Structure formats: structure tokens, C-alpha cells
Structure 1
């Protein structure tokens, strides 16, 4: 059985060729099946996929269904496989990266994730800790500096942590390898998360079933993305989904505290003119009203 490579695209005609070019070297000797799931692109993403990778399976959802729904659609078409590699179209695989991730998979390790670098070569802080009220308040008060303290920051910013192989609560989902055993235990991805927090939910559910996520720095990829840093709409979606995920796993009173911490972060930054935080604060207020109804 091969590795199922599931790539979810949306208007990805410019980004996709670079990923497709990197796949053979990234997989090395591993057999694979490439599945491109297109969420109703308005450009020629589908034509690019078929032209550059004629052996791939193209799944067209007919709508912008979101990342989790795209993954599920791809898995529904996959042949029996040993593991699934979930990929953003703007990922570039380093030679041997998927082989290395696969070598670390098995037993209690159900998910392996690589070191991620930005396109300028700098390290992406892709490792995360489980969301908690204390960490949400820590990030509200200290920003990214909170990540220096395990109890008060969700994002791991310690450079030394990115040089050693080890477990993580979760990691950004642009590139992750999932064992067939973990996949079977967890079931489908939660499609109620259109974008953002779906990988958090999946990794935490995997842990619930006894599977850990392992970070493998000897496997590396380059990620050309990062639009959530500048787009108010995407930042709002990211922020609201953090609260939605927390509510899925915790009581209403605890979620109210978590919402307050996230709101403090966004409102304080909105007050000094951050457009994306102004948008996120408005979205959080809407989420609060929905939670109370």
C-alpha cells in the first residue's frame, strides 16, 4: 500500500506547480497516490494539476467547502494506504522529507510533522501547546513573548525546541503525515471548521485515542503561505475558531473565560489601530451572541 497525498486547492494555479515538482524527491522510494481536491477554483488549478501530474486523482467538490471537508473528500477517493500526507498547495517538500516523517510513524506516534521554514529560509514557529485559559490570557497580555513560558503561551518560540525530535500537543496543518491506524481511530475531520483549528481538533482527538503528534526536524518543508497575518477576514476566522474549538472540549463557564481572554487580546490591539484585531473583535462579539442564544 502507498502513501495517500491529499492536496486541497482553491485558486492555487500559481502555487501548485512548485509543490508538484517537489513531490517525487520528497517521497523518495515511497510509493504514493496523489489526490488533488479542488474547492471550486475560479482559475485553472484543475487544468494545471491534470497537465503537470496526469497520474493524479482530481476531486472537484463543486463549492468552496473548506480545508477539512476537502481532506475528507480526498480520503473518500483514496485507495487503501499506509498513511496520509496532508499538504497545502504552497508547501515545497525537501528531498526525503516524507520518507523521514514516515520512518518516525508507528506505535503511539500517529502524526508526524516537519520543520517548516518560510520562503526566505527563516524558521516558522509551527509547534503549538494545547489551548488553555491561562495561555489565552498570557498571549493577551504578553503577545508572542508568552510563548517563552509553557504555562502562558500556546505558540512554542524556543529555538532549541525546533532542533530536537519530540512530542507536540499539535502543530500547524500545512504538512502532516497521519498513520492509517490513527486515521481509522479518529474518523473524519470536523468539517464545521471551515479553515483554522481543524488541525488542532484532529491532533487533540488523536491524543484522546492514544496517538501522539511527533515533531521531526530532520524532515523539512518550505511554506509560502501566511495570509492570516495580514488579512482581517482570515484573522477573524482564525480567532473565532479558537473559541469554537475550546467550546467543543470544555464547559460553557470555562469557555466564557477563554472568550474573555481572546477578546482582551483583540480589543486591546484594536484600540491601537490594528485593523485585523478590530475585525476579529467584532467577530468575537457575534460568536458570543451566538453562544448565548
Structure 2
């Protein structure tokens, strides 16, 4: 069955005996022949007729100089952008790789179901019988940052895995499916010519906030001729100049050379690889220096809570780019998402700060670091200053945390508030600013609006019953339980309005609440949009808070929010908005005011929220532009 929105590029270099089988397998797997392009860099004009004879009817070939794999892929992607209509996904394959079964359909679904994934790949198998794993996605070693395959050369099991798609550090370039536009905005670096260009490319995508995903339900067969020794030592230097630490840039190539020497001594012979490896060492140094010099300045957004702050970081990234400032994202998934030990996460966080700050200090234009969450509370100001410099920013969402956290005590705040040349501290509300001033942070403190993406009239899909006119409007509370949630208020609202509305709480750690249906679980990112869009009203029933990410998300969907006027919600809607409740009345009058606000929100709140969303986005964009440009 043909996949209607798929185009394909096959990179061919002097492998006429395998090209025909690869093209036939791609067509059988779902590529329409008229969307199949062969980019031939064989530089053998006399054999082009052989390529033409292997093309399925309707497929095309273009011929170019051999500037390497990356150049061929870039050329093929640009050709499709100019000449092919109606495609959304681009398959890139090398001349000897063939998909198994429904591989293409599975990869296409992987991209379609996760808008955050830029490129998806299958599990690669090899050998005459296809019973040996070549790659189940790639990773980088901890110390030297060398690329390695998960499951390399393991025996393939007869039992099909039940694992779903998951992010990896990189994918083998033999068989990849890209979202349209990725290769236009982020072309492959053609400096490499051969080996590691896909590893480099995927680190670049990840630095810009994209995911690189392997799907264990998809399989493709490939044959590899190994890595030419010259490019092994040459390219690892270029790679670490762009993505690694100072230590990795200095040590990785000599380590590879020394390892090869040691192997030859053990085998009691002199290998022919040592000369090319030594030449690669010499050749890579100036190229690495050039790559390091070309690294942009701008802003690096460091997000150590890749799961919880994914949407926040996306909105922040858009604000910085809209200001005309170059920006990229470096993210780590927190232990609750990645499953790794907290200490491992902390060490990776320190390594990330060091690689983006200290390692890049020798460059003429250094990026400024914007830390979205301080892992160690106020102690992060010292870490960021030492590793990244005092011209960085650290965002404090909860200056006085509702739960006990590392680095939030008096000693940390007293010492860090007196530190000279510390990074600038950012908060998102006047209440948070007052809390920071109370801890001694009077200098270098800026209030900047919470990042927000513009409201779109295009709403995400919600369940068929979400907007059913026959059912009662849904009033929801979202987010995890904290001790400052006003449970008495929620019970009182359900007693007063329970016959008119459906009251639901969705969030981790909530206890039973009378009159409310409680779903005490974590809501993943893709579901959260649907839950918000399917709500009539979102309540923010805090007694005290500095800002609400849920309120921002609701604003982006023009879903009305009801909460207290004396909080950051007043910055979103204006303190006089009928959606907000003043805290100056007695308990009974207070409940009545909440009821009136909910009733207004159900009847008229969407227009109020839509107007507020447009105004707040303009304000946020303007103030973030002023901040990052100074």
C-alpha cells in the first residue's frame, strides 16, 4: 500500500549490484515511484545508463560530484522541496539498505503521532540471514563521547519486542525518516564527508529541542563496510569541537589512535590503518578549530527538566528566535521521566553546563546561558557563574518552594544574594519578585512574563464526548497536589454547583475530594493538550502561588481560567476581570464569588480568554525581546 505523504531519497555510490533490490523494496514498502529519487554521486558518467535501467517506472535520478553522504542527502531533500508536491515525510536510505514488512508505515506513524520527533529510524539488522542486530539506536560513551550502537552484533530474537518508540542520542544514517522541513532548516554538515555526519546532525537537532527516535517495531537490513581509519580520527575531532567537552576534543582522537596501535602490538603485525589514522589526526585539527569558531553565540536554553518543562522551553525558544537572536535548546530528562538515578542526572547536568559554558570560553562570540530550572536551588547561581559566566540568566519559578528542596534554605539564599557578579535572576510575577527581594536578591532581578505560544484557532482533537451539548460543562483542576491547594473551597463549590457542572481533578498525588471525580495520575504532554481543550473552565484553587503553567496552557487554548485576582492571574487577565475572585470577602461571600466567576466563564469566558491570550503574548514577546537583546 502506497504511503501518500511520503517522498524518498536513495544515496547511491558505485553499488549497482544492490541498488535495484533497494529501490524495489522501497516501492513494495510504500514509496510511490514518482516520489522516489536516486542521488548518484558515483562520478561514473559511462555507467549512468545502468542506474536508469534500475529505476522503477516514474522514479528519477540526479547526478552530482561525490561530496559525501551529507551533501547527497541535502541535495535530494532540496530537490523534493522544489519538485515534489504533497509530501510530509522524507525517507533517506543508502543504496544497500532494505526495509522489512511494514517498516515504512511504522516510521511514518512514529513521526505523525509525536510532533516533537524530527527523525525516526528502525532497528537495523545485518548478516546474510538478517539474524544479527547492527543498531538499535546510538549513544555516546560517558567519558570520551564516542558513538556506539545499542545492541550491536547481538543475536536477533524470534520474539518480536513489545517496546515502543523512544528517544536515542543518534541513529545510523543508512535508513532514516525525517519530518518535512527538518533538512531545510538544519542541513547535514558536509564537512564530515563520511562517518559521523548523522551523529553530528542528530546532536544538532536535539540541541534545538527535537527528539531523535528509534522504533523497535520497525526493521531494516543493511550491510556496512566499516569506517575508513582516516575519517575515524579526523571526524571525531570535528564532532567534539561542536558538541563535546574540552577533554573529549583533546583526548578522543589520540585514544582511538592509541587503541589501534595496542591492537596491532597484540596481534604482532603492523596494520595499514595507522598511517591513515595519523593523517586523520593531523587533518582534523584545523577543521575542528574552524568548526569551533563557527559555533554561534546567541542564547543556549538549558532545560534540566526535559519532561515537565518541555512546553515552557518550546515557548521560550520561540520568543528568543522571534527577537532575532540565535537560540538552541539543551535538555535533560528528569529522573521521573528517564528512570535514571538522581545522581546520574545531576552529573549529566553539570557536564552539560560545563560543555556549553566553560568549554566555549575561548571563542570570540560566546553564547549566553539561560537556565530554565535551578537543580540545586540558589547554589546554581554559583555553578552557573563558574561554568558559564556571570552574564547568564537563571529562572526561579518558586523562590519560596511549597515543598522542601535542595538549596532553597536561608544559608544558600544569604550567601548567593551577596555573591558579586552572579548571573541575573528571572521571575515571572511580582509575587515571586517580592519573595526574591525578601531573600536579599535586590540587584540583578528582572520580572519577565511567563513564556507563552500564540493562541491558535486550530484546536487539538478532543474525545467525541468532550463537547457533547447533552453533557454538563466540565470544570477541571489540573496539576499535581500540593499542600497549598484549597480543598475546603473545592468541596464548597461542588456542593453549590454540583448539579450544573461535572467537577474533575486530574493530577498526581491528589487525595479524594468530596463532589469531585479524582484521577490521581501524571498526565503526559500529548494528553494534556486534549484535557485542557476539552474543559469548559480550569480552576486554579491555590491559597498561594507565584505563577501557574496550567493557566498559561489554558490561555493558549482560549480556555477560561478562574482563580484569585491577587495572584499572577491578574497579570494574565487584568485584576478586574470577572474571571477572577478578590480575596477581601468573608468565607461564604468568597465561595459565592467563585461560583459567579465559574458561571461567567462557562457563558462568556472563551472570548475573555482569547482577548487575554493575544494581549499577553504581545507583552511576553516584547519583554523577552528586550531582555535577550541587551
Band of TM-score, shorter chain: 0.7 to 0.9
Determine if the alignment matches structure 1 residue 13 to structure 2 residue 25. no
Cα gap change, 1:56 to 1:199, in 2 (>3 Å) = same
Deviation at 1:280, TM superposition (A): 4.7
Deviates more, 1:77-86 or 1:47-56: 47-56
Asked if the contact 1:196/1:237 (under 8 Å) is kept, the reply is yes
Cα gap change, 1:174 to 1:289, in 2 (>3 Å) = closer
1:172 maps to: 172
2:493 maps to: none
Cα gap change, 1:10 to 1:284, in 2 (>3 Å) = closer
SS in 1 for 2:132: coil
SS in 2 for 1:169: coil
SS in 2 for 1:58: strand
Asked if the contact 2:203/2:243 (under 8 Å) is kept, the reply is no
Listed as ranges, the matches of 1:100-119 within 5 Å are 100-105=106-111, 106-119=114-127
Deviation at 1:14, TM superposition (A): 0.8
1:123 maps to: 132
The TM-score normalised by the length of structure 2 is 0.39
1:226 maps to: 224
Cα gap change, 1:112 to 1:67, in 2 (>3 Å) = same
Deviation at 1:89, TM superposition (A): 0.7
Asked if the contact 2:237/2:249 (under 8 Å) is kept, the reply is yes
Listed as ranges, the matches of 1:141-180 within 5 Å are 154-157=148-151, 163=161, 164-165=163-164, 166-180=166-180
Distance 1:66 1:204 in 2: 19
Deviation at 1:266, TM superposition (A): 2.3
Asked if the contact 2:202/2:212 (under 8 Å) is kept, the reply is yes
1:194 maps to: 193
Over the residues paired in the alignment, what is the CA RMSD in angstroms? 2.9
Determine if the alignment matches structure 1 residue 133 to structure 2 residue 139. no
Distance 2:143 2:109 in 1: 36
Unaligned runs of 5+ residues in structure 1 are: 137-152
Query: Structure 1 residue aligned with 2:58, among 10, 30, 55?
Result: 55
SS in 1 for 2:49: helix
Distance 1:284 1:240 in 2: 4
Query: Structure 1 residue aligned with 2:259, among 247, 259, 265?
Result: 265
Unaligned runs of 5+ residues in structure 2 are: 291-630
Cα gap change, 1:250 to 1:289, in 2 (>3 Å) = closer
* Count of residues in correspondence between the two structures: 269
Asked if the contact 2:122/2:175 (under 8 Å) is kept, the reply is yes
Q: Which has the higher contact order (CA 8 A, sep 6+)?
A: 1
2:216 maps to: 217
Distance 1:274 1:109 in 2: 45
Deviation at 1:201, TM superposition (A): 1.1
Distance 2:24 2:224 in 1: 21
Determine if the alignment matches structure 1 residue 237 to structure 2 residue 257. no
Listed as ranges, the matches of 1:14-33 within 5 Å are 14-27=17-30, 33=35
Deviation at 1:183, TM superposition (A): 3.3
Asked if the contact 2:37/2:61 (under 8 Å) is kept, the reply is yes
- Report Cα offsets for 1:41-78 as digits up to 9, x if no partner: 438763244223231221111x2221111111111211
Cα gap change, 1:279 to 1:27, in 2 (>3 Å) = farther
Deviation at 1:91, TM superposition (A): 0.8
Cα gap change, 1:197 to 1:288, in 2 (>3 Å) = closer
Determine if the alignment matches structure 1 residue 204 to structure 2 residue 226. no
Deviation at 1:99, TM superposition (A): 0.8
Cα gap change, 1:134 to 1:39, in 2 (>3 Å) = closer
SS in 2 for 1:217: strand
2:604 maps to: none
The TM-score normalised by the length of structure 1 is 0.80
- Report Cα offsets for 1:54-110 as digits up to 9, x if no partner: 31221111x222111111111121124311111011011212211110001131111
SS in 2 for 1:227: coil
Deviation at 1:113, TM superposition (A): 0.6
1:141 maps to: none
Distance 1:242 1:276 in 2: 20
Asked if the contact 1:167/1:215 (under 8 Å) is kept, the reply is yes
Cα gap change, 1:289 to 1:213, in 2 (>3 Å) = closer
1:75 maps to: 77
Deviates more, 1:115-124 or 1:277-286: 277-286
Deviation at 1:260, TM superposition (A): 3.1
Determine if the alignment matches structure 1 residue 87 to structure 2 residue 83. no
Larger proportion of strand: 1
